[in-house]
Amino acid sequence: MKLLSKVNILSMFWKRLTAEEIKHRVFAALHENMDYRKECVLGLPGTHLDEIEFYDDAPFLEQAAFLSAFIANPNHIGCHTLQEGQGESAFKGTQKLEAELINLCAEEIFGGPRGGQDGYVASGGTEANIEAVWIYRNYYREIFGAKDEQIAIVHSADSHYSISKAVNLLNIHAIILPVEEQTRMIQEVEAKHLLAKALGKGYKYFILVLNLGSTMFGSVDDIDMLTTLFEEEDLQFRIHIDAAFGGFIYPFTSTKNKFTFLNKHITSISIDAHKLLQAPYGTGIFLIRKGWMQYVKTAEASYVPGTDYTLCGSRSGANAIAVWMILMGYGSEGWKEKMDGLIAKKKTLCTELDHAGIRYFSQPYMNIITIPYSEIPEPVAHKYYLVPDTYGESPMWWKIVIMGHVKSGMMERFIKDVLDYDIEPLL
Ligand SMILES: Cc1ncc(COP(=O)(O)O)c(C=O)c1O
């Protein structure tokens, strides 16, 4: 098979900043912003947070950069990699930090060329995925005159339900590719068959959404197999990577990351900072190559300087700052070390599961372990808050996610409870 995507040749690096340096940068950015308390602001529809609940004269705020940003409440409406200098000037200081964050993610973590990507901090992975599909649907409409009934999203049966939302909202069709039960890999023969069927029905324009860490399994789709399939048929296709879960771990723990902007077929990527990065909720990151955001430019947003290109409209600048602060606080090496630590912990639990004879699926570079439902007594699963693949009828799997709060003792107790259950069921 020809080499479609380069392996991990990224020299990913960003320097760790000290707590003092981070604080200094954030306060400097806030000072560049307009201050609702100090300036004559009559026109802007926003303000700082409520002064009774969120007073700004607490002495600790001088040391608390994120909380100060939270209270100042900058609005980052728009896309600030695109509109440099054209966006809402009242918040230009913190918008610049957001642009820096987007560039760091696109260039250092996902190998994009310098200044070659746009993006923004969305409400979450759902919005970032929908934004991508919205862009490609409009592109096919605008450039090829495509009708909605000729456009299809192609994705694995293990994909997140946000893709179904995109299908529903954007009035296009989904081709759902079945996966192998044990490996969670897309079934190639079935994919070929479904594609041939779709072509027969008149679908001509395809949006591939591939998992870099599926929600339930952490599985990673075979990008080369799918790219070959669509290239061999000489089809119009664009690839979006749903790295909402895996985006802040897989690039750091894997030795061969094919899911980067070095792969010419990848146009956009979603990564959630409010998952692995432990940022506040409301920090889904959307990244896309330059030249694509224009397909969702809402010219009607005429009162927004630079207009709007995002799905959500107004959004929290403090959220973008939180993500920037976390990444700067670790530096690339510190973050890699943290993610390697999660994988090491996961391996320990896998070894214990092996010793206990409990079957499971786990992608080597992801922090998820998925166990057949029948292997874990329900009361034990509930005690440890394991998540089933469905709360409806006939669940098949339980999921364990190894995060920072999971300690060795907790994992040992879990295995012991599973093994002891037949002898001494939990009350
Ligand atoms: C792979 C994947 N994509 C998208 C999402 C949606 O993310 P959010 O809940 O931030 O909208 C999730 C959430 O679990 C996910 O795991």
DSSP state of 102: H
CA distance 201 to 19: 58
Closest by CA to 286, choosing from 274, 273, 298, 268, is 268
Q: What angle do CA 147, 150, 155 make, to 5 degrees?
A: 130
CA distance 41 to 55: 19
Mutate to test the pocket of ligand 1, among 130, 160, 389 (most ligand atoms within 8 A of CB): 160
Tokens 């009774």 belong to which residue?
52
Asked if residues 138 and 151 have their Cβ atoms less than 8 Å apart, the reply is: no
The radius of gyration computed from the CA coordinates of the chain, to the nearest angstrom, equals: 23
Amino acid at residue number 169: L
Tokens of 334: 């510190």
- Which three-class secondary structure state does DSSP give residue 190? helix
Tokens of 296: 């969702």
Amino acid at residue number 201: K
CA distance 243 to 192: 24
Q: Can you tell me which atom of ligand 1 is nearest the CA of 128?
A: 11
Ligand 1 interacting residues, C-beta cut-off 6 A: 124-126, 129, 160, 162, 214-215, 242, 244-245, 272, 284
Measuring from atom 7 of ligand 1, which residue has the nearest CA?
125
Closest by CA to 121, choosing from 268, 356, 259, 312, is 312
CA distance 127 to 345: 31
pLDDT of res. 363: 98
pLDDT of res. 302: 84
Largest CA distance in the chain: 73
Domain boundaries defined on the chain: 77-316, 331-420
Measured in Å, residue 160 CA sits from the centre of ligand 1 at 6
Measuring from atom 15 of ligand 1, which residue has the nearest CA?
215
Measured in Å, residue 164 CA sits from the centre of ligand 1 at 12
Question: What H or E segment, with its residue span, contains residue 380?
Answer: helix 378-383
Per-10-residue mean pLDDT of the chain, 427 residues long, equals 44 93 98 94 92 93 96 96 76 97 98 98 98 98 98 98 98 98 97 98 98 98 98 97 98 95 98 98 98 94 87 97 98 98 98 97 98 97 97 96 95 96 70
pTM recorded for the entire structure: 0.95
DSSP state of 304: S
Tokens of 351: 């070894």
pLDDT of res. 85: 62
Asked if residues 362 and 346 have their Cβ atoms less than 8 Å apart, the reply is: yes
DSSP result, 223-292: HHHHHHHHHHTT-EEEEEEEETTTTTTHHHH-S----STTSTTEEEEEEETTTTT-PPSS-EEEEEETT-
Q: Can you tell me which atom of ligand 1 is nearest the CA of 246?
A: 1
Sheet holding 284-289, edge to edge: 117-122, 284-289, 266-272, 236-243, 205-211, 151-156, 173-177
CA distance 251 to 347: 18
| Contacts (Cβ under 8 Å, ≥6 apart) of 9 | 262
Q: Can you tell me which atom of ligand 1 is nearest the CA of 213?
A: 1
**Class of 331-420 in CATH:** alpha beta
Asked if residues 260 and 241 have their Cβ atoms less than 8 Å apart, the reply is: no
Measuring from atom 14 of ligand 1, which residue has the nearest CA?
215
Q: Can you tell me which atom of ligand 1 is nearest the CA of 124?
A: 10
Measuring from atom 16 of ligand 1, which residue has the nearest CA?
215
Query: What topology is assigned to 77-316 in CATH?
Result: Aspartate Aminotransferase; domain 2 (3.40.640)
